[in-house]
Structure 1
Amino acid sequence: MEGPNEDFKGFEDGFTGFPKHLPDDCVEYCLYVISSKLKSPKDILGQLEAVKKEALKLTDSLLKEYIWQRESFKLDLKSGKGKMYLYGLTNYGDSVEDEWLIVYILRELSNRFPQLWIKVVDTDGEFLLVEAANALPRWLTPEIADNRIWIHNNALRIIPLSADSHSGPKTAPAPRALKLEEAHDAITSTPDSLIRSPLIEEEAFYRLRNYPAQINTTLHHAVILMPRKLAYVLHARPVSIAPAVEAFYLRDPIALKTLQRKDSDLIFPIRDLVAVSTRFTKVLYAQLKSQQFSTPIAWVDTLSKVDTVEGTGTLGPKRYDMLEMGMKVTSGFEMLFADPKYGDNRTVREAKILLEDLATDDSLALPTDEEIAGWKEGSREDDESWMDINFVDFERELDGEGKQKSSTPAVFGPEPPSGFGDAKTQADLRKMVERFESFLNDEDAGIDGAEMDDMDIDDDDDDDSEDIDDDSEDEDKDVSFDEKEFARMMREMMGMPSEEPDEVVDSPSASATAPTSKGHRIEEIKSSDEGDGADGASEMREVMEKLEAELNEAGALNLDPTPSKLSALKGKAKAEKSSKDGDLDDESDGEEIDIDFNLAKNLLESFKAQAGAAGPGSNLLGLMGMRLPRDEGDSESTTQYK
């Protein structure tokens, strides 16, 4: 038995490890202290501890009421390859605002510690460069951007190509991604060579223009009806609303089984409902509000009573909305506490401890109505207009006409209110459209958005270009009808060898026997068989002659018929039709040529066999300007063919 392949060297010879990929919807940040004055590990450790303490103070002051979508900003001390640094990884879920809030915190820390150099990436890589794509220099491509982008002193710094060779030979550096050690060496040895561009910074940090005021604008307060027991938990742990909404938003049939129990078996029985102002983020509230949700068994009677008694009154619809939102929040908490996958969530564990203490400690009691009225939130309820978007203005923004007003009068009544419910959303959309238009208007941009080198442009002249008429020089070859291509695909569909111009024999004998309109490839094969003198040549010629005779008889090779052939084919078609249907109508005499039934059937059968995919049939019909719909049923298609 043979042994293992000795040529396989496994993970030896230059193996640098598997490529690292972050999980989806995650942002990773590393904070390094890089300074020639701080060389001892003790000094660096002390500086990192100071950064960590300052980060806690900063988040406490900025994020007192903030609710993270999934995970919060955090810093842990780590060491690797002889370097100590602070590391963090946050899963921001569907809330992109969480990611940019982290970028803002990192910028503030870099402004307070001059020796701090920060690297931040997400699932897409250097996402700051993605934001500033229109302002980047030509050489800075995604392939070489790793470890070149740093935040320092509240600014964006880029390590140039000229810094790549400071530790190696004094030669022109080849564009490549930097290793982390090389980036640190470049920062330490040549800090003045790093690039700082105000234009790039403005684009990269555009979403931070309204911070820190934007932190509070991302929150939304709404008064909802919920069980008193749940109000107690939410008041003690307001951040628990985030995992509860996620459990509701990502529910599955297994999770819904928890809601099919009787009211007495639920964690939060629907017996004593109270109106409580609840704090959400706008993302969480939108996820909750937009969901269509079937009423659980325990809530059916309660909702039906409100709808029946007060549905027609002034407060009826409002109270129903409050109760419906409370039903969704309560159902989310029921599914959250019953699902074991949330068992490791710290917020969920703390909320469960509150319920356990409430059940075992007699000194604890549910809050009274007076206590609920005295809570900080009180009855605060924010306007929901930020969820409203005028789709006329939305289309106008997408068309790049956001500042223009439509002059077209309203046909179906008064024009809806103009503008967006959220000015920030409108500004972000307008910025996105501007960037997209800038990319489309860049004539030098390639498929990846980068400029194309001269060497990438194919300027080779075709040898056959001299034979093209002057009248067709400006013709669009992508949409024009190519007779040669038509003939090639016709032969391919018929199962014949394709005819290539480069394969045409230039000898006088070949040119004399090869007609330009039909049978060219067949005659060439026959002549080559005669010259070879092989044993099977005569049999091959016989087969090809029969095939050519059948195709000529059917008229399949008459791709460029002369008037005499047209009349012959027309007479033959009329004779066949008369033998089957009787007398021929006089109206058909004025037709130029009848449709060949067999050819049309073969074309349609070929198109049908493609099953919607690309193939010779659809390509052939496309060259003739015909676009057939996809075949949706055999019965209908068969009827058409017959």
Structure 2
Amino acid sequence: MAAADRQEDVVEYFLYPAPGKTAPGRGDENSCLEEQADKILAHLSPLLVDYIWQKEPFNLRVVAAKGDHPPHLHGRTHFGDNIEDEWFIVHLLLQITTSFPDYIARVQDNDGEFLLIEAAEHIPRWLTPDTSHNRVFLFHGQLHIIPQPRSPAEIACVPAGTPSLRQALDIVSRYPGLTVAGRPTQDIIIRRIGSYPEKMHALFHHAHCYLPPGVVAVLNHSPALVAPAVQAFYERDPLDMKACRAMKHFPTDSCVRARVRFTRCLYGQLLQQRFTPDKRSGWTVPPPSHPDHPAWDLGIKLACGFEILCCRSPGSPSVTDDSSQVSDVRWQRYLSFLTEKGYFKSELEGSKRYKELLQSAHRHYQETATVSCDRSVDHGQEVLNILRTSTWDLKQLQAAGKHLEPPDDDSWLAMTPGDLDAMLEEQYGGFYRKSGDLGEASSTLGNMVDSMKAFVDNVSSHDGAEFPRMDEDQPVDFDVDSFSQAMERILGKAMGNATDNEWIDEDDEDEDDGLMESESDSSEESEDGSTEDTAMTDYMDQMDQELARTNVGKSFEKEPSQVTVPQLLINKQEGDIEDEDDVTPVNVDLNLVKNLLESYSSQQGLAGPATNILGTMGVKPPEDADDRLCKFLQRQERFPPCLGLPCSDRDVNPSHQ
């Protein structure tokens, strides 16, 4: 499937058996892959059971052979607004290919090979979206990129064109040392993923909420249901607001304080929603100055989300038959894999903790199996089933609410410029430091001009303009002998010449002789050339005459006059001042810097063309750009200090008045 055909915010992943390493019987391929899927899910259960997914969980289903695709396991997860779900899946795939070395993984989203996008500064320059097809895989816990052949000997291992999927899997399986990506690329991917399970707990956020007892019972039974409840409230419509007005499933007369676990994405979505409950719903909200107001505000929104889920679900509450959702054989096999993995942690069968772990595992497996079968999960029906089968003691919930652990600090929601710099430093490492160094070195306006000139002089291709780029990984080819001989020739020739008149190259003499010999043959061409020069000169003169009657010339900064101030005053008194606009040349550098600074100032700190262009070239405009303009021009002696160029924002940029 092409990247453009994929749904937005959806990650798609594949697990292919490595050619020659897993060879089940032809009739047993599907059952063997199904067993492997259960074993993989059981292996990942310590990470999956307690994880809160934004939209859909990690899932695997068996896909039969079709076309160029061999039989494989396939999964598809809609991660919504939480991009961390996508990178968590990348971590899971790396873990799978490490623990199950006979499988090769592949992962893509609507952007295509997003792993290459993350490591764009370290991948080969020939690797583009057009050339990356069937070249990027995960194998043995590492990123593998099938290279292009660099010699005739490598053509036997790597095809010259785009490999087919079966060819690519065979190459990665047989020549892992040839296809494994470089260490800088691997480090970028690992740094972006982070360290799990430590990072998984860091992505959670615990907050206090005042909730109806029914909501507390549902969350105690299934904490992951907080995600569909937040999404339901976040995507509410006017019909949903009618359900929030009645609150028939979760009465508001006896709310209790509870500690709820969110992901940071869910907490931010719920917190930033502005909502005033209907007075007929029965909510009693304290004033904003009250210390319990944030807990009430958050709890009302979450309770309304659960009410919306229940009202969206068709039918009446009923207990679904587990056997209709999940095959009993697969569940028992999955349970045996969990036991082998040590999921129950030596808990006695039938104990309270054992039942809780078993319930969590069964709920997770049910949801995964439902998504794998392309069935839509009815979270509202699940909430109604929990309400129907659960009981709670109000006094016990109220007593528990008085001894809660403190909520997590949500200061991470407020990001300062320093926090942003630290995040970019952690995310992009050396590249961001390199950009920062360039910004410091380019803080003067002179370097801004030089960088722009370097960009203009750079050669572009059919792909567009290419910014100057230093490839640090490219080896330097330096021949010492050739360099020494060249220096000897240059220095010897310079020492042998006595005067400047003798700096005549033999090649120039040969060229002069050739020109004289061919003078008669090129007489017609010379006449045509002189005619063209005359026509161009006349054309330029006509343009100058037309522009002279306009104010275009006054919009450019001219080179400073060489006349001193006293002489200028004397000439003014004598009436000898002539119009110098026609003869004073335009200061190209000053106009360039002035226009860039005006564009940068008009952006008022937001993104725009000036920051995009300068940022791509590694130039960071100074905050006091207008004052630096004056200092720069004085240092470069663009104008005498006695004439005085205004240094304020208002004088440099009249549009600010």
Post-superposition Cα deviations, 1:480-525, rounded to whole Å, max 9, x if no partner, equal xxxxxxxxxxxxxxxxxxxxxxxx997879959995676589xxxx
* Residue 203 of structure 2: aligned partner: 218
> Following TM superposition, by how much is the alpha carbon of 1:388 offset from its aligned partner in structure 2, in angstroms?
5.0
Q: For the residues of structure 2 that align with 1:425 and 1:558, how far apart are their CA atoms?
A: 46
* Residue 157 of structure 1: aligned partner: 144
Post-superposition Cα deviations, 1:197-249, rounded to whole Å, max 9, x if no partner, equal 22221112212332221112211222210112222222222211101111222
> Following TM superposition, by how much is the alpha carbon of 1:30 offset from its aligned partner in structure 2, in angstroms?
0.4
* Residue 386 of structure 2: aligned partner: 354
Other structure's SS at 1:283 match:
helix
* Residue 35 of structure 1: aligned partner: 19
Write the letter of the residue equivalent to 1:108: Q
* Residue 180 of structure 1: aligned partner: 165
Write the letter of the residue equivalent to 1:292: R
* Cα separation, partners in 2 of 1:558 and 1:285, compared to 1, 3 Å: closer
> Following TM superposition, by how much is the alpha carbon of 1:329 offset from its aligned partner in structure 2, in angstroms?
0.8
Write the letter of the residue equivalent to 1:350: E
Match of 2:132 among 145, 159, 169: 145
Q: For the residues of structure 2 that align with 1:294 and 1:254, how far apart are their CA atoms?
A: 16
* Residue 71 of structure 1: aligned partner: 56
Contact residue 147 and residue 179 of structure 2 kept, 8 A: yes
Contact residue 94 and residue 138 of structure 2 kept, 8 A: yes
> Following TM superposition, by how much is the alpha carbon of 1:273 offset from its aligned partner in structure 2, in angstroms?
0.7
* Cα separation, partners in 2 of 1:296 and 1:179, compared to 1, 3 Å: farther
1:370 aligns with 2:396: yes
* Residue 209 of structure 1: aligned partner: 194
Q: For the residues of structure 2 that align with 1:350 and 1:439, how far apart are their CA atoms?
A: 56
Post-superposition Cα deviations, 1:499-556, rounded to whole Å, max 9, x if no partner, equal xxxxx997879959995676589xxxxxxxxxxxxxxxxxxxxxxxxxxxxx99x984
* Cα separation, partners in 2 of 1:626 and 1:179, compared to 1, 3 Å: farther
Higher RCO (C-alpha under 8 Å, 6+ residues apart):
2
* Residue 381 of structure 1: aligned partner: 406
Q: For the residues of structure 1 that align with 2:28 and 2:151, how far apart are their CA atoms?
A: 28
1:393 aligns with 2:378: no
Q: For the residues of structure 1 that align with 2:170 and 2:8, how far apart are their CA atoms?
A: 31
1:80 aligns with 2:60: no
Other structure's SS at 2:250 match:
coil
Q: For the residues of structure 2 that align with 1:386 and 1:426, how far apart are their CA atoms?
A: 20
Q: For the residues of structure 2 that align with 1:510 and 1:427, how far apart are their CA atoms?
A: 59
Show structure 1 runs of 5+ residues with no match: 1-16, 359-363, 403-423, 454-503, 522-550, 561-586, 596-624, 631-642
* Cα separation, partners in 2 of 1:148 and 1:164, compared to 1, 3 Å: farther
Write the letter of the residue equivalent to 2:5: H
Q: For the residues of structure 1 that align with 2:576 and 2:424, how far apart are their CA atoms?
A: 65
Write the letter of the residue equivalent to 2:416: F
Q: For the residues of structure 2 that align with 1:206 and 1:34, how far apart are their CA atoms?
A: 27
* Cα separation, partners in 2 of 1:185 and 1:55, compared to 1, 3 Å: closer
Other structure's SS at 1:284 match:
helix
* Residue 83 of structure 2: aligned partner: 96
Q: TM-score, normalised by structure 2?
A: 0.55
Q: For the residues of structure 1 that align with 2:435 and 2:108, how far apart are their CA atoms?
A: 23
Other structure's SS at 2:71 match:
strand
* Cα separation, partners in 2 of 1:626 and 1:556, compared to 1, 3 Å: farther
* Cα separation, partners in 2 of 1:322 and 1:509, compared to 1, 3 Å: closer
> Following TM superposition, by how much is the alpha carbon of 1:71 offset from its aligned partner in structure 2, in angstroms?
0.6
Q: For the residues of structure 1 that align with 2:40 and 2:168, how far apart are their CA atoms?
A: 25
Other structure's SS at 1:134 match:
coil
> Following TM superposition, by how much is the alpha carbon of 1:372 offset from its aligned partner in structure 2, in angstroms?
6.5
> Following TM superposition, by how much is the alpha carbon of 1:119 offset from its aligned partner in structure 2, in angstroms?
0.7
> Following TM superposition, by how much is the alpha carbon of 1:56 offset from its aligned partner in structure 2, in angstroms?
1.9
Q: For the residues of structure 1 that align with 2:157 and 2:178, how far apart are their CA atoms?
A: 17
Q: For the residues of structure 2 that align with 1:165 and 1:46, how far apart are their CA atoms?
A: 43
> Following TM superposition, by how much is the alpha carbon of 1:91 offset from its aligned partner in structure 2, in angstroms?
0.8
Q: TM-score, normalised by structure 1?
A: 0.56
How many equivalent residue pairs? 433
Q: For the residues of structure 2 that align with 1:389 and 1:429, how far apart are their CA atoms?
A: 21
* Residue 267 of structure 2: aligned partner: 285
Write the letter of the residue equivalent to 1:268: F
**Percent identity of paired positions between Structure 1 and Structure 2:** 27
Post-superposition Cα deviations, 1:578-635, rounded to whole Å, max 9, x if no partner, equal xxxxxxxxx9x99978x9xxxxxxxxxxxxxxxxxxxxxxxxxxxxx999979xxxxx
* Cα separation, partners in 2 of 1:349 and 1:147, compared to 1, 3 Å: farther
* Residue 118 of structure 1: aligned partner: 105
Q: For the residues of structure 2 that align with 1:505 and 1:445, how far apart are their CA atoms?
A: 31
Post-superposition Cα deviations, 1:286-305, rounded to whole Å, max 9, x if no partner, equal 211222223333467611xx
Write the letter of the residue equivalent to 2:381: R
Other structure's SS at 1:90 match:
strand
* Cα separation, partners in 2 of 1:179 and 1:252, compared to 1, 3 Å: farther
Q: In angstroms, what is the RMSD of aligned CA positions?
A: 4.8
What does 1:247-326 correspond to in 2, within 5 Å? 247-259=232-244, 261=245, 263=246, 266-298=248-280, 302-303=284-285, 306-307=286-287, 311=289, 316-317=290-291, 319-326=292-299
